[in-house]
């Protein structure tokens, strides 16, 4: 099944590791290092699993990443703050990082839904066999798309998913993204995107301090512009061009509390 996100998706983070790793990576476990334009764990392990993540709490999103010498590692999806619970896409796997060779070791793509109850031995879900023919040597490109309860991974630019997971329990409806490494594989050219939303979306307005207010709206509202106007009887809405921040699952913007009345809306592009 293909689940392609629109070309109008918003890129919220990229890292090619040429100048080192972005400071946004958490490097929580595994001693992650960027060297020679690639990113990897200097202490790869799986108990507890290595984790380096980004500070965005997301619902729907897409990841593009190159993996060099793919063998045993993966990508965390909708992970919690501890970096131990979430959906994990395993690349290669089956104990390659622990020394296993032959059989399915290093050759598959499969999913784990990891919870506190099953963390030591999570079930293998929807495994695609013999995806990688030369583990520890082969270089690949993966695109991972997460929309609702559907997780899909596309290999080397294919428009058809190599494997998908429909997570009917919706164990995790939002969370962070990150990387996992249990071998000598390395990561490069990481891109994180948010797809356009369907809307409409609500704008929340709160007082930041006596002189400023904060506007916030869901990160799924990609493709929607924040606009303002002084009177609802007018028609000349203007796009607000101030830079936004991403806070949990919201875009956020703090502006000066104007002396004159002002109205805001989200308008689909």
Query: Which pLDDT value is given to residue 5?
Result: 45
Classify residue 88: in a domain, yes or no.
yes
Query: Which pLDDT value is given to residue 99?
Result: 87
* Separation between Cα atoms, residue 173 and residue 210, nearest integer Å: 35
CATH number at residue 123: 2.60.120.560
Number of separate domains in the chain: 2
* Separation between Cα atoms, residue 97 and residue 202, nearest integer Å: 46
pLDDT in tens, 215-264: 998 887 877 889 999 888 888 999 999 889 988 878 999 988 876 788 88
Structural domain of residue 244, as residue ranges? 204-268
Is residue 62 located within the same domain as residue 165?
yes
Instruction: For residue 3, name the pLDDT band (cuts at 50, 70, 90).
Output: very low
pLDDT in tens, 58-102: 888 999 999 999 999 999 999 998 999 999 999 999 999 988 888
Is residue 156 located within the same domain as residue 214?
no
CA distances (Å), origin 257, targets 146, 232, 234, 241, 264: 37, 18, 21, 16, 13
Is residue 97 located within the same domain as residue 42?
yes
Query: HSE of 119 in the Cβ direction (CA atoms, 13 Å)?
Result: 13
Query: Which pLDDT value is given to residue 258?
Result: 72
- Segment 140-166 shows an average pLDDT of 96
Query: Which pLDDT value is given to residue 1?
Result: 34
Is residue 183 located within the same domain as residue 239?
no
Is residue 241 located within the same domain as residue 178?
no
Is residue 188 located within the same domain as residue 212?
no
Q: How many CB atoms lie within 10 A of CB 146?
A: 27
Query: Which pLDDT value is given to residue 198?
Result: 63
Classify residue 2: in a domain, yes or no.
no
Residue 137 has φ and ψ, to the nearest 5°, of: -130, -40
């Amino acid at each position: 099944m293909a689940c392609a996100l629109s070309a109008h998706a918003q890129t919220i983070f990229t890292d090619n590791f040429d100048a080192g790793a972005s400071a946004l990576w958490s490097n929580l476990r595994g001693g992650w290092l960027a060297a020679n334009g690639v990113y990897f764990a200097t202490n790869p392990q799986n108990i507890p699993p290595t984790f380096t993540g980004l500070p965005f709490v997301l619902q729907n999103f897409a990841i593009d990443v190159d993996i060099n010498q793919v063998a045993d590692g993966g990508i965390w999806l909708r992970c919690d703050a501890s970096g131990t619970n979430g959906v994990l896409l395993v690349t290669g796997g089956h104990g390659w990082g622990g020394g296993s060779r032959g059989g399915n070791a290093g050759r598959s793509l499969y999913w784990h839904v990891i919870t506190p109850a099953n963390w030591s031995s999570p079930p293998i879900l929807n495994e695609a066999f013999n995806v990688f023919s030369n583990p520890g040597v082969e270089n690949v490109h993966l695109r991972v798309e997460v929309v609702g309860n559907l997780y899909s991974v596309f290999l080397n630019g294919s428009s058809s998913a190599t494997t998908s997971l429909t997570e009917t329990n919706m164990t995790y409806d939002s969370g962070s993204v990150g990387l996992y490494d249990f071998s000598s594989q390395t990561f490069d050219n990481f891109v994180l995107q948010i797809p356009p939303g369907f809307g409409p979306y609500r704008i929340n307005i709160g007082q930041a301090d006596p002189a400023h207010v904060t506007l916030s709206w869901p990160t799924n509202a990609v493709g929607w512009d924040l606009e303002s106007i002084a009177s609802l009887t007018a028609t000349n809405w203007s796009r607000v061009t101030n830079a936004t921040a991403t806070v949990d699952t919201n875009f956020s913007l703090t502006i000066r509390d104007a002396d004159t009345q002002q109205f805001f809306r989200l308008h689909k592009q």
